[in-house]
Structure 1
């Protein structure tokens, strides 16, 4: 199959590496950064510098391909404002919607979205729950999804994977949360966060393309964890001072997690036969297997 990966950051480059090792597909990858062209060259048959929001550039990148995977992410490590989200996600999906009618050979679109589109939903949330975001960032992600879903046609399938928070090699959780040791945090930390390992994202993306999947999937692991439990266990495992929580608030601080009581369901993932390599965070796995102790940082 001839496949394009649009966006080769943390997830996209891992997906490219996975397919390169398999050597079963012709692969084109794109990046927004010229300095990464040499780095990505060994992973693909073709590497292109691309602004995915530019319809002309995007059409050229998708020409001759049968499937396209969109692993978009804003550049840099700082918190991105709503304008940055619009530029990355909404403008890119507008470009996709504009060019796919001109690409009859492109029959599969796969996109990494986020469970944040569920917004203020509470209780057990599966793919039948309509998105109800109130904040600007998830509203933009929802609008981008709708544009892509509008690209469906009798000969074209659209798969959207709504991801939990991603961790994995180079993005380990415990060191990040241990940095909060001894601090005072707003609220009670009860909001649940659903996580997913990068390698499981790669597995699901490859499956969606190769199986020709059409539809929505919540891509999260089996056990969400509260902010408080994750921070407290990380600090305790490292022998560090605990975090002090200020008490209840009616709404979690930005970035603190989903509304209290919301639990993202991955039942459909299981029904489709997808088995996670990392069904729970390492810190939770260690609780079930006393021999799998977390080691403090050296």
Structure 2
């Protein structure tokens, strides 16, 4: 198997490690936009390329020999970018990929990481892959447009496309204790009763690996078994650290996306979650060392 991961950030790195463990004979190419990351990536792959995926010649070089492409795009850096930055990252890159596909006859499988943010608000109800997407902001609208570009690519003969919609990520490097400890003792708007949806990075990478191994197609939600109310999650994190709980003002918070996202299709495809819940049996957060 010759496989290229386009965009080797948080999820791409986790997948590269999975591939090295389970498919050590695979010929792996990793791309990054940062020369500084070359040394970090080189032990994981036969090739590491500096690649701007919106540039045709660079993307073609990364994919020319690939049987499988995993596209894990993300804005460069840690800061939140505006919608135009999202368009440059996602739409420009996937437009480039779409234009190149006729020149990539070896490429049979494309797995792409999207986001559950495309669903919008469901007032606490359940949504699944058949639920019409209703983006509530420009960023998620861009992500849905990017998905459509890949859906169009799926119409090309002998090309399989799987779109994996990821929930909010947690795991090593995105520790929930650190994320929420600054909220201790604060008063926050709302009542915290809206549902949030999460996935451990090990399961994001695991689902991607299975999509490659088994040739998944269509849309698959990659979420754990436990949609959890925001107040329960944050209070569990703070309680474990011995920190003061949040006080909720009770005032209505505008603009939230309150939904419970189903993972039934993920399970029907045979994937078994490594981290099925974010809270342990005693109501405190579990600590995972899964890389």
TM (norm. structure 2) is: 0.93
Counterpart check, 1:14 vs 2:14: yes
Of the three residues 259, 268, 277, the one matched with 1:280 is 277
Tell me, in whole angstroms, the C-alpha distance in 1 between the residues paired with 2:235 and 2:253: 21
CA RMSD of aligned residues (A): 1.6
Tell me which residue corresponds to 1:137.
139
Q: CA deviation at 1:251?
A: 2.2
SS of equivalent residue, structure 2 residue 178: helix
Tell me, in whole angstroms, the C-alpha distance in 2 between the residues paired with 1:62 and 1:170: 29
Q: CA deviation at 1:191?
A: 1.7
Q: Is the 8 A contact 1:177 1:230 kept in 2?
A: no
The Cα offsets for residues 190-239 of structure 1, whole Å up to 9 and x where unpaired, read as 22111000001111101101111111100000001121111122222222
SS of equivalent residue, structure 1 residue 200: helix
Aligned length: 284
Q: CA deviation at 1:154?
A: 2.3
Q: Structure 1 pair 200/293, CA: closer, same or farther in 2 (3 Å)?
A: closer
**Larger deviation, residues 127-136 vs 271-280:** 127-136
Q: CA deviation at 1:121?
A: 3.6
Q: CA deviation at 1:24?
A: 3.0
Tell me which residue corresponds to 2:181.
178
Tell me, in whole angstroms, the C-alpha distance in 1 between the residues paired with 2:106 and 2:88: 27
Tell me which residue corresponds to 2:81.
80
Q: Is the 8 A contact 2:127 2:260 kept in 1?
A: yes
Tell me, in whole angstroms, the C-alpha distance in 1 between the residues paired with 2:165 and 2:209: 15
Q: CA deviation at 1:250?
A: 5.3
Tell me, in whole angstroms, the C-alpha distance in 2 between the residues paired with 1:245 and 1:285: 23
Counterpart check, 1:270 vs 2:267: yes
Q: Structure 1 pair 293/91, CA: closer, same or farther in 2 (3 Å)?
A: closer
Can you give the 5+ residue segments of structure 2 that lack an aligned partner in the other structure?
none
TM (norm. structure 1) is: 0.91
The Cα offsets for residues 167-201 of structure 1, whole Å up to 9 and x where unpaired, read as 01121212321220011212112221110000011
Tell me which residue corresponds to 2:208.
205
Q: Structure 1 pair 149/179, CA: closer, same or farther in 2 (3 Å)?
A: same
Q: CA deviation at 1:80?
A: 1.8
Q: Structure 1 pair 59/271, CA: closer, same or farther in 2 (3 Å)?
A: same
Q: Is the 8 A contact 2:189 2:253 kept in 1?
A: no
Q: Structure 1 pair 121/99, CA: closer, same or farther in 2 (3 Å)?
A: farther
Counterpart check, 1:146 vs 2:145: no
Counterpart check, 1:126 vs 2:132: no
Tell me, in whole angstroms, the C-alpha distance in 2 between the residues paired with 1:293 and 1:147: 38
**Larger deviation, residues 144-153 vs 177-186:** 177-186
SS of equivalent residue, structure 2 residue 174: coil
Q: Structure 1 pair 293/50, CA: closer, same or farther in 2 (3 Å)?
A: closer
Q: Structure 1 pair 34/128, CA: closer, same or farther in 2 (3 Å)?
A: same
The Cα offsets for residues 86-105 of structure 1, whole Å up to 9 and x where unpaired, read as 11111111111111111111
Q: Is the 8 A contact 2:28 2:45 kept in 1?
A: yes
